[in-house]
Amino acid sequence: MTDREIDLKIAELDRLLNDPETRMDPHKVWSLLAEIRRQTMPTTQAPRAA
């Protein structure tokens, strides 16, 4: 996903959460959050220290 696509998803999420004329769709909000998180999180993580 390109930076532009991520920005568009963030803008859509912002609209869903903050536009009083837009019907809240919790499934869509969580779906967008998951997509954004997958694209912005590093693919490898260092092991946690015990």
Span 5-50, pLDDT tens digits: 999 999 999 999 999 999 989 999 999 999 999 987 766 665 666 6
| pLDDT of amino acid 31 | 96
Instruction: Round to whole Å and give the CA distance between 45 and 25.
Output: 32
**Domain residue spans of the chain:** 3-40
Secondary structure of residue 41 in the 3-state scheme: coil
DSSP 3-state of 35: helix
pTM of this prediction exceeds 0.85: no
Residue type, 29: V
Q: How confident is the model at residue 46, as a pLDDT? A: 59
